[in-house]
Structure 1
Amino acid sequence: MKYSLPRVAPLALACAAAMSPVFAVEVEPGLRSEAESNGSVGTLIVLQAKAPKQLLSPEGNYLERRRELVNMLRATAEVSQAELRTWLDAQGIAYRPFWIVNMIEAELTPGQIDALEMHREISAIKANRAVAMQGPVLGPIPDAAVGSGIHAPQATEWGVNKVRAPLVWAEGFNGQGVVVAGQDTGIRWTHNAIKAKYRGWNGVSADHNYNWHDAIHETGSSCGANSPVPCDDHSHGSHTVGTMVGDDGGSNQVGVAPGAKWIGCRNMNAGVGTPARYNECAEWFLAPTDLNGQNPDPDRAPDVINNSWGCPADEGCTAGNEVRQAIENLVAGGIVFVASAGNDGSSCQTIFSQPGTLDAAFVVGSMTSSDTMSGFSSRGPVPGLGEVKPDVIAPGSSVRSITNSGDNSYTSMSGTSMAGPHVAGVVALMMSVDQSLKGDPARVEQILRETSVPISNSQVCGGIPGTTFPNPVQGMGRVDAYNAYLALDDIFADDFDD
């Protein structure tokens, strides 16, 4: 898909190459040989120009700051991409431009890579490989609390109770006024437990503009390409949204924040993602658009995003690459970015994939209902990372939530993918208690850490004992919605006393 954006006067790229004999674009090792073997290869063409975010004004509320950020990112991309897009058009190369990161997705031949390699405005040409998601375990897994590992359906599911969400509900706060989001395999929006919570549903009809985006532009699954309505071709995405907001009004209270509204973006095709798909969803979340991809509106961005996906190095996500920049821009836009740690435990240094390896992400490990670490939960430390990861842990073993197989269907899954949405739900509860937390990820994350409850653990990772917090096994411990509520209540009391 190509977008009509203002262009500056073009200059032939061949001229740029001729004027810059000592300049060379960084081409990911092995990318050209991959193109030679297959005839062409999926790439991300990353431009040199970066939005000068240091010039953004700290004044105004978070919505005003987000608008200014989006305008700056879009303007930077529109001007700096103009020459390259003119060349791509002339070559008949299909492409997709981005502004959340200044890059263009395109399928290139070896000759086209060579032609771009000396262009001064390009920083790098990187891989955009498709890699299957590391899936959760379906059904129950062994859990010391229940012997067989089978959790019987409960009116309020064990994970929701474990983070003490019902105590916050009892105080009158269930996520009302907050928008949560999920980028994943999609969502069965008509499910009885989440339909009424969809921001696009008014009780009579659905409007999917600004509430749903499909980043999958080719067929290959039951959802097809460019689905105009929320669709889930895998069930993983529906399950995570259910844990955030699910409640059928009866015996299926599976969600932590049933009063919140949700929106969504499909970033995997039957569980297979690429860096471009992740960034496309990130860009849409920062400024949601209508179903035609037009009229972006940063005021309709979500307050918190759950990310139960991973992008390993072999997919093109390496330290310092474009997915990291997109996530940093989401957080700069005032959005809390919750990410699952991964399911490669139980050894130390097993958090391998972005976004779990990133400072900007609030990373979540998994625990069982018996207050032990889930064996599969990835542990830190992450080499070279300035913060201890995971940040916290949450229920992730044998978590029951909705599926995509019917409007009243449920199943249990296990994985850090199931832990992350518990935390996103807790964030929604916190924001419903204190609306001033919206647009302030740093403050939200600080409160989450300070109010978490450590569980017993003797494993030592990175030389940090299990009795020292944070540590690379459980971070600061299990998130606790009621502790967070009490902390916010104390703040209100102090403000009142002052």
Structure 2
Amino acid sequence: MLKYFAFLLVLHAALAAPGADYQSIISPKLRNRNADDRTYNVFITMEETTSQVLETITSTPYVDRATKLNSLYDALKSLANRTQGPVLSYLESRNIEHTSFWVNNQIYVKNINFTTIEDIAFRYIEYMTEINEEYVANLIAPVSVKTNVTLADELQWGVAKIQADRAWEVIGGLQKAGEGVIIATVDTGVRGSHEALKDNFVGDYGWFDPSTRDPTPTDNNGHGTHTTGTIAGQKGIGVAPAAKWAACRGCAGFFCGQSDLIACGQFFVCPTLADGTSPDCSKAPNLVSNSWGGGRGNTWFNGVIEAWHTAEIIPLFSIGNSGPSCSTANSPGDQNVIGVGSTTIDDQISYFSSVGPASDGSMKPEISAPGSEVTSAYHTADDAYASLSGTSMACPHAAGTIALLQTRQPELTYAKAKDLLQNHSDRDLTFTGRVCDGVAGTIALLQTRNKQLKYEDAKKLLQNNADRELEFSGTVCSGVGDDEFPNHVFGHGRINAFRSVQQQTLGKSR
């Protein structure tokens, strides 16, 4: 009996000892990939989150946005210094390459072996909640690309379709379209010397490349130049051509590392010079347009998104090119952001546009915008243009529209901007008869026998021939047709910049 009690005491002491459960904070995926002959890039998430800091900043009144941004920066930096200190000292003493992120209170560690990962977890388990291998997202690449496009002497079809030119008239003319607003993109970079973009670059505090610290805006892919052009480009390609643009290269190519994306997110909360020095939070943009993502229900970027909300930076994301099936909305477009789907010149949903609902059942996308065969600036020359198709091309139209709204109301909140886009969108669209969830495939089968099958006829066929001797579980699928708004195909409709600006109520909405 005495031996039994002695055993229990030893067991209790072992379980209570620091580091006793250290392996639980190492992600199962990382543990399963454990190999002595390789190294990993990992993120360490600290126990104390940024939520309390964000809540305090949000609830505190400030004389202006710059003061609020400086307070946010100081508070987040202080939290990171206090909670990350012991781990950072360990890494520095062993010359292990790492980056401290204050925006979401994480530490990024490069080229670390599994034995060292275990040692960190064992020593500092009380400071952290998890260690995960770096996630690699994807550029939401266009589904079609036509280069060497000749630019027409007129507005591009997407700019005209959303009636941006009529919105300009309400604001006070083309020269006022986005004036005083800083728009930002997290993408492949921007060709800063392009003729449609060179005159409205922010300049200092408007460019950051986390990987190379290149001092001037560049783009080796073209995607970022194209998306930025649709938001703020000259020569009829941009929705808000008087806005200033800033950019961060979060995607070096078709893949976007978690470390680069978080670095970009942090940069926009408090911009620095291109070499990462001399932060000036007053230079933060008013919105960030993102055309990258991957997976569903992924929350790893939410710390950055919530920091953007607190900093009064409106986040927009392409919803993805994984359509037309239901439940294909991509992350982070399926999170607390404005997710944007794609439409054609005929106001039909683009065949590739991802469809909701989100993995938690919420309505996605919020809105749709022109995204098929959109012509904008390209990276191959200072006068190069290309026609691309994708939700990456749609999201910038929505971002440009918000920039127009911010022209007259710089303090426009995320909630108000979303309401203006959603409530004043166009709904006289071309409907496909898609219903999410569950019956899209059935309608597709019906259409193989009758290609002219109309939505109402398809609905009657489904309703009148449905099995009714069923066992009900209490679960009700979305069952929303694309001609009922909001829906998981178009969202609340296709944006109309003119109607949104026209209906905008001036005055503080903070």
Query: RMSD across aligned C-alpha pairs, in angstroms?
Result: 2.3
Percent identical among aligned pairs is: 31
SS in 1 for 2:322: coil
What letter is aligned with 1:293?
G
From 338, 344, 350, the equivalent of 1:374 is: 350
Q: Is the 1:393–1:479 Cα contact (8 Å) retained in structure 2?
A: yes
Q: Distance in 2 between matches of 1:100 and 1:319?
A: 18
For the residues of structure 1 that align with 2:177 and 2:374, how far apart are their CA atoms?
A: 20
Q: Distance in 1 between matches of 2:226 and 2:326?
A: 28
Which shifted more, 368-377 or 113-122? 113-122
Deviations 1:327-380 (A, max 9, x none): 1111121111010000000111011x321120x210000000001000000000
- 8 Å Cα contact 1:449/1:479 also seen in 2: yes
* Aligned counterparts of 1:347 and 1:308: Cα–Cα separation in 2: 20
Residue 58 of structure 1, CA deviation:
3.0
Counterpart selection for 1:257 from 240, 244, 247: 240
String of CA shifts for 1:395-435, please: whole Å, max 9, x gaps: 00000001100000001000000000011100111111323
Structure 1 match to 2:475: none
Alignment of 1:83-162 (within 5 A): 83-107=86-110, 108-118=112-122, 119-139=125-145, 153-162=152-161
Q: Residue type of the partner of 1:381? A: P
Higher helix share: 2
Give me the whole-angstrom Cα distance separating, in 1, the residues matched to 2:24 and 2:232. 46
Indicate whether 1:355 and 2:355 are aligned: no
- Where 1:81 maps in the other structure, the secondary structure is helix
* Among 354, 364, 384, the residue aligned to 1:389: 364
Contact 1:182 1:306 in 2 (8 A): yes
Q: Which residue of 2 aligns with 1:205?
A: none
Give 1:309's match in structure 2, choosing from 292, 316, 321.
292
Q: CA separation in 2, counterparts of 1:139 and 1:477?
A: 26
Residue by residue, what CA displacement relative to the aligned partner does 1:147-175 show, whole Å, maximum 9, x if unpaired?
xxx99835210000011100122231411
Amino acid aligned to 2:385: Y
User: Is 1:329 aligned to 2:307, yes or no?
Assistant: yes
Which digits, 9 at most, give the CA deviation of each residue in 1:264-301, with x for residues without a partner?
A: 10011122211111110000000001233123222110
Distance 1:240 1:302 in 2: 16
Per the TM alignment, residue 20 of structure 1 is displaced from its structure 2 partner at its CA by 4.2
Larger radius of gyration between Structure 1 and Structure 2: 2
* 8 A Cα contact 1:183 1:264, kept in partner: yes
1:320 counterpart = 2:299 = yes
Q: Is the 8 A contact 2:36 2:113 kept in 1?
A: no
Q: Which moved more, 1:55-64 or 1:155-164?
A: 55-64
Aligned equivalents of 1:289 and 1:50: distance in 2? 24
What's 2:502 paired with? 486
Residue 463 to residue 241, structure 1, CA distance change in 2 (3 Å): same
- Cα distance in 2 for partners of 1:24, 1:72 equals 31
| Count of aligned pairs | 440
2:226 aligned with 1:226, yes or no? no
Other-structure match for 1:206? none
Q: Give distance in 2, aligned partners of 1:97 and 1:436.
A: 31
Corresponding position: 1:405 with 2:387: no
The question of whether the paired residues in 2 share the 8 Å contact of 1:153 and 1:400 is answered with: no
Match of 2:430 among 453, 456, 480: 456
Q: What TM-score results when the alignment is normalised by the length of structure 1?
A: 0.84
1:26-47 residue CA offsets vs partner (Å, 9 max, x unmatched):
2222213435175111111111
